[in-house]
Amino acid sequence: MNLDKIMNNLEARHPGEPEYLQAVREVLETIVDVVNENPHFESAGIIERLVEPDRVFTFKVPWVDDEGNVQVNIGYRVQFNNALGPYKGGLRFHPSVTISILKFLGFEQIFKNALTTLPLGGGKGGSDFNPKGKSDAEIMRFCQAFMLELWHVIGPETDVPAGDIGVGGKEIGYLFGMYKKLQREHNGVLTGKGTGWGGSLIRPEATGFGAVYFAQEMLATIGESFKGKTVAVSGFGNVAWGAVKKITELGGKVVTLSGPDGYIYDPEGVSGEKIDYMLELRATNQDIVSPYAEEFPEATFYSGKRPWEVKVDVAMPCATQNELGKEDAEKLVSNGVICVAEGANMPSTPEAIEVFKENKILFGPAKAVNAGGVATSGLEMTQNSMKLMWTAEEVDAKLKHIMKSIHDNCVKYGKCDDGYVDYVKGANVAAFLKVANAMYDQGII
């Protein structure tokens, strides 16, 4: 495989899409050997076909705000690859959303979904709509206008969206309501639904819980566990919340949370009512974490800074892409971090990952660590198809089993001669082989 040639062609075709190009390069760099060992992949143009989305929908979303003003946003759905199952992936509502970000997320989603062992293809969508400071009525009108365009390209066997940044249970409810009205069908077209009308138990917690189960497996490889460990978590949204809950349950102490405004250091640990307070903080739609320090005076707020300067045993970035750079990684390493597990999608820059690998730190990449969210979405689809509902214990046991199998697969394909596990390579190779074999079997399409 000629990596430079493929990347040059992609860059020429998609200029100004840095996140997408970054995500593709990160995967291709680790699968060069396995592609070269399988010349039939090359002759079938697997790589060239894999790096381009099957199709991308872009649409205008006009809606009326509470003052009666007309607002216009852009909506997108990237249907990337359906070799393994229906396109599957979340919707992100955030002002920073661009087609580059959604293509990076859709590309990553193909591999993440392959790792789950479930029949799921990869996709992503969203809008540059900013939920910050919007009333519920505005969010509902926006979601309805968004679905007015999206409904005819999605379906339970075609493309199944879910939540991501800015899209939680409330938004999924509004989106589902409009889909159902237009399609005149009550089906499993979206996941993360309310548990009273088709949603799976444990789905809200699943990404954070799964991430901690994965980190637990990583720690076990060196005879360690979360018990008595200090942990830096970033973000204070859905993924951070689930992670904090599970870490605390396992005897770890979470000492940081963060938002776009800065980070919180709580030496006594984020536990008990403080975890519930995270939900309240998100529900205000104000996008700031600083009120935590007013509510709990033992905590300190550091304005405009990231939590990676705090001395911790484990770091779990759970906010957004490229939020942990080279200097942050160096700081964590010099402070003695032993494990870094990515709850968010692509939170560490390539330079930061290099620092972790050079120092033989246990490093779990997003597509393996945070796959528990989409895996539980897959379990929600199964329950919808069977028209029944599993108990929380059943779903949690299946989630645990899936996270363990992802970990086993990473070790199988990522173990180096000196015993160090390169989880980045392990996850990419395991997922790539599954997708590439399916694409090969299905011919040139």
Binds 76: which of ligand NDP, ligand 2IT, none (CB < 5-8 Å by kind): none
**What is the C-alpha to C-alpha distance for residues 167 and 146, in angstroms, rounded to an integer?**
13
Minimum distance, C-beta of residue 366 to ligand 2IT, in the bound complex (Å)? 8
Residue nearest to ligand 2IT (CB): 90
Binds 307: which of ligand 2IT, ligand NDP, none (CB < 5-8 Å by kind): none
Q: Phi and psi for 22 in degrees, rounded to 5?
A: -60, -45
Minimum distance, C-beta of residue 320 to ligand NDP, in the bound complex (Å)? 4
User: Is 127 a binder of ligand 2IT (CB under 6 A)?
Assistant: no
| Residue 35 in tokens | 């592609």
Stretch that binds ligand 2IT, among 82-90, 174-182, 300-308, 433-441 (CB under 6 A): 82-90
User: Is 378 a binder of ligand NDP (CB under 6 A)?
Assistant: no
Binding residue (CB under 6 A) for ligand 2IT from 79, 234, 321, 345:
345
Minimum distance, C-beta of residue 42 to ligand 2IT, in the bound complex (Å)? 29
User: Is 344 a binder of ligand NDP (CB under 6 A)?
Assistant: yes
Catalytic position from the list 88, 124, 193, 367: 124
User: Is 90 a binder of ligand 2IT (CB under 6 A)?
Assistant: yes
User: Is 164 a binder of ligand 2IT (CB under 6 A)?
Assistant: yes
For ligand 2IT, the closer CB: 345 or 428: 345
Residue nearest to ligand NDP (CB): 237
Binding residue (CB under 6 A) for ligand 2IT from 85, 89, 106, 317:
89
Residue 175 CB coordination number (10 Å): 28
Instruction: Calculate the CA dihedral of residues 270, 272, 278, 283 and round it to 10 degrees.
Output: -170
Query: Which residues of the shown chain bind ligand NDP in the complex (CB under 6 A)?
Result: 94, 96, 163-166, 207, 235-239, 259-260, 287, 318-320, 343-345, 370, 373
Query: What are the catalytic residues?
Result: 124
